[in-house]
Amino acid sequence: MTFSRRGLSALAALTLAVGVTACSNDGSSAGASGPQQSTFAIWDPYPQFDDSSDWVKLLQKCGTDAGVTVKRTGFDTTDLTNKALLAAQQGNSPDVLIVDNPVVSTLAEAGVLTTTADTKIDTSAIEPNLLAAGQLDGKTYGIPIGANTLALYYNKKVLDAAKVDPATIKDWTSLTAALEKVKAAGKKGITFSAIGTEEGSFQFLPWFWGAGANLTQLDSPQGVAAVTLWTDWVKKGLAPNSVLNNTQTTSWQEFATGDFAFSENGTWQLANAKKTGFPYGIIPIPSQAGGTAPAPTGGEFVTAPVQSDTGRYATSEKIIKCLTNADNALTTDTTLSYVAATKEVQEKQVAANPELKVWVQAVGAAKGRTSDNLGTKYPKISEPMWTAFQAALSGSKQPQDAMTAAQTTAAAAVK
């Protein structure tokens, strides 16, 4: 399998558009035969974990169980994607590469990754909506190590004062009515991130998909309805003007003041929620007409890059199977605040922590940003989309005009 120049440019675009976490190599030849055969390189996106961590100890154990020594390196996302690209060009890819899920289709298109058929990795237990983020043109290029997504945190004290029962919030109409009651009670409604980056698109997608919109047609009535919802909230004072510049972190900081009823945020804020000092709860993001909206999945895939020595794949498969088996996945996903990728482990997570039930529900409805075979087209659509809702929220364009312009830009970009 060769590395394509089209993949190089696509990866550069995706690296700019989709930033989360990542990794790098030490420069040793992971694909060499001879003495190096007993050393297998793993690159992961968790630089926060050092050699004393349970995560690195697991990597080492999985290597030992497979009869090899693991050499692990972790860096941030930009470094990881760039290093993965360079390593593929040099024939020096790691044996196992753990990457943010939107990057998988780009690396696959570029010829960097093997398919799960090549490496005989069993994906049958993985939830199909989570696996889809690693699929392109009918082939699967890895296995999710877990997933996170978005839901609505609420401040129980604020809702009680406004006489709002969160259980009654089932659709956009009931959510907006709740925000209006909160405002009438002298508190603030909802905070989220609408910043002009991929982070903003990530937070917009539940409303966009929840209206029934499709990323191939940004200016559909459904897509315009999602922008209109956000715009109306800001116009009516149900959401603050600060959403235009909020990251997910600064949005959370607003919620943590205790003044807001709701915050759109992710599983990664669970530990911080316990530190707020006020009673909180979590509900799924509602779709326009009711039910749980499809939120985008975050989280990483465990993949096996192409090697000149294909005999290495059998050991890589053993390592990947070890990393993603039920017992190890439970420990890892708990550490990373992820919902597991299989029902078996999800049930164990909920049994250990009932608070995760709503997150399992949210992940069950979620979808990958590059799903629907969008692959490397996604970042070329995401940027016009965030440009559109920024324009609408700032008042420089009406929602319809903003999304019409976005569709024109996106359609030209993905030709």
Confidence of residue 81 (pLDDT cuts 50, 70, 90): confident
Mean pLDDT, residues 394-398 taken together: 98
> Are 115 and 218 in a shared domain?
no
Cα–Cα distance for residue pair 2/289, rounded to 1 Å: 47
pLDDT, tens digit, for every residue of 235-250?
Answer: 999 999 999 999 999 9
Total domains in the chain come to 2
> Are 282 and 317 in a shared domain?
no
The bridge status of strand 260-266 relative to strand 150-155 is: antiparallel
Q: In this structure, what DSSP letter does residue 245 have? A: T
**Helices then strands, each counted (H, E), the chain:** 18, 11
Confidence of residue 335 (pLDDT cuts 50, 70, 90): confident
The bridge status of strand 150-155 relative to strand 39-44 is: unpaired
Contact indicator for 105, 134 with CB cutoff of 8 Å: yes
- Please give the radius of gyration of the chain, using alpha carbons only, rounded to the nearest integer: 22
> Are 68 and 203 in a shared domain?
no
User: Which residues have C-beta within 8 Å of that of residue 351, sequence separation ≥ 6?
Assistant: none
Look at 288 and 79; give whichever has higher pLDDT: 288
What's the pLDDT at 106? 87
Name beta bridge partners: 148: 298
Q: What is the CATH number of the domain that holds 137?
A: 3.40.190.10
Residues in the chain: 415
pTM of the predicted model as reported, rounded to 2 decimal places = 0.87
CB atoms near residue 311 (< 10 Å): 9
What's the pLDDT at 5? 31
> Are 184 and 246 in a shared domain?
yes
Confidence of residue 75 (pLDDT cuts 50, 70, 90): confident
Q: Where are the alpha helices (DSSP H) in 337-377?
A: 343-352, 357-365
Q: What is the mean pLDDT of the chain?
A: 90
7 pLDDT higher than 60: no
Domain end call among 328, 346, 365: 365
Q: CA torsion angle for 65, 299, 150, 292 (degrees, to 10)?
A: -80
- The single-letter code of the amino acid at 254 is E
Reference 297, options 390, 382, 359; nearest CA is 359
pLDDT, tens digit, for every residue of 144-183?
Answer: 999 999 999 999 999 999 999 999 999 999 999 999 999 9
Q: Where are the alpha helices (DSSP H) in 133-247?
A: 156-161, 172-184, 198-210, 221-235
26 pLDDT higher than 80: no
Reference 316, options 4, 29, 59, 47; nearest CA is 59
> Are 16 and 120 in a shared domain?
yes
> Are 265 and 326 in a shared domain?
no
CB atoms near residue 357 (< 10 Å): 13
What's the pLDDT at 8? 38
Domain end call among 365, 382, 403: 365
pLDDT, tens digit, for every residue of 195-212?
Answer: 999 999 999 999 999 999
Provide the residue range defining the domain that includes 183: 150-295+374-413
Cα–Cα distance for residue pair 42/94, rounded to 1 Å: 6
Mean pLDDT, residues 319-329 taken together: 95
Confidence of residue 37 (pLDDT cuts 50, 70, 90): low
> Are 86 and 168 in a shared domain?
no
Give the tokens for residue 51: 């050699």
Reference 390, options 279, 250, 253, 246; nearest CA is 246
In the chain, the percentage of residues whose pLDDT exceeds 90 is 86
118 pLDDT higher than 50: yes
Name beta bridge partners: 128: none
Contact indicator for 255, 191 with CB cutoff of 8 Å: yes
Give the tokens for residue 171: 């659709």
Q: Where are the alpha helices (DSSP H) in 269-396?
A: 270-273, 313-324, 326-336, 343-352, 357-365, 378-394
> Are 192 and 275 in a shared domain?
yes
> Are 320 and 262 in a shared domain?
no
What's the pLDDT at 40? 98
> Are 40 and 166 in a shared domain?
no
CA angle, 41 then 46 then 52, to 5°: 80
Cα–Cα distance for residue pair 21/251, rounded to 1 Å: 20
> Are 358 and 384 in a shared domain?
no
Give the tokens for residue 238: 């149900």
> Are 162 and 227 in a shared domain?
yes
pLDDT, tens digit, for every residue of 339-392?
Answer: 999 999 999 999 999 999 999 999 999 999 999 999 999 999 999 999 999 999
Cα–Cα distance for residue pair 161/182, rounded to 1 Å: 8
Cα–Cα distance for residue pair 222/397, rounded to 1 Å: 18
Contact indicator for 199, 248 with CB cutoff of 8 Å: yes
Give the tokens for residue 145: 């190590």
Q: In this structure, what DSSP letter does residue 121 have? A: -
